[in-house]
Amino acid sequence: MIEETQTKGERTRQAVLDAAHRLFIGQGYAATSMRQIAKKAGIAPASIYNHFDSKDKMFEAILLERHPFLQIMPILSSTQGRNMEEFVRGAAHTLVDQLGHYPDILNLMLTEIVEFQGEHVSLLFQKFIPRVMPLIQRLYSLDGNMRDIPPFVLARAFLGMFFSYYITGALLGQAMPAEMQANALDHFVDIFLHGVLVKETA
């Protein structure tokens, strides 16, 4: 036992959050019942309501405390790299190594888009923007003979590269053996880098 500062109530809350988080990722929001969550968390279904007002509020709490951005951003922050190429290559591989090749990581985000029509987006935006801004600034100020691309667009394209890698991977990964999977990330990174940097040698 390392940390004992959590109250019992807080530990139970986290157990519920853990259970619900995994179930939402695995099968979506509507298909997950309070009874499934309770069983996985090891308590009675009614006890969940001591910690969350409703299923909806619980989902909102999970978004705010477990959104994939909260895993992605610390990794990006700790990525070394003296110039754009080093940073992007390092970030891409560290992200994929630590988050895994399967797109489950994005599922919570995708569920919010499809099952809630993105209704929490502005809430999340407000919460995350202060943490994202320094990263955008850092990305933009890296050396590398960058073409004339606005900082926000650059950040969006960088993020988009991961999303597209994961989602096309989900679409193809189960249907293809390896010919397209192998080194796909490296190719995506190459295309992004060539797309963003001014070519040094013709």
Partner DNA sequence: CCTACCGATCGGTAGG
Both structure tokens of 178:
């390896």
The interface region with DNA, picked from 41-49, 62-70, 108-116, 151-159 by CB under 7 A, is 41-49
Give residue 70's identity as a one-letter amino acid code: L
How far apart, in whole angstroms, are the C-alpha atoms of residue 52 and residue 34?
A: 11
Q: Does 33 bind DNA (CB under 7 A)?
A: yes
Q: Does 111 bind DNA (CB under 7 A)?
A: no
Of these, 6, 26, 27, 35, which contacts DNA (CB under 7 A)? 35
Which residue, 16 or 105, has its beta carbon nearer to DNA?
16
The interface region with DNA, picked from 47-55, 115-123, 142-150, 178-186 by CB under 7 A, is 47-55
Which residues touch 71 (CB under 8 Å, ≥6 apart)?
99, 105
Q: What stretches of 32-102 show up as alpha helix (H) in DSSP?
A: 34-41, 55-66, 68-78, 84-99
Q: Does 168 bind DNA (CB under 7 A)?
A: no
Q: How many CB atoms lie within 10 A of CB 146?
A: 16
Q: How far is CA 186 from CA 33, 85, 182, 197, in A?
A: 40, 12, 9, 16
Q: Which residues bind its own copies (CB under 8 A)?
A: 26-31, 103, 107, 109-111, 113-115, 117-118, 121-122, 125-126, 147, 149-150, 152-153, 156-157, 159-161, 163-165, 167-168, 170-172, 174-175, 179-180, 184, 187-188, 190-196, 198-199, 202
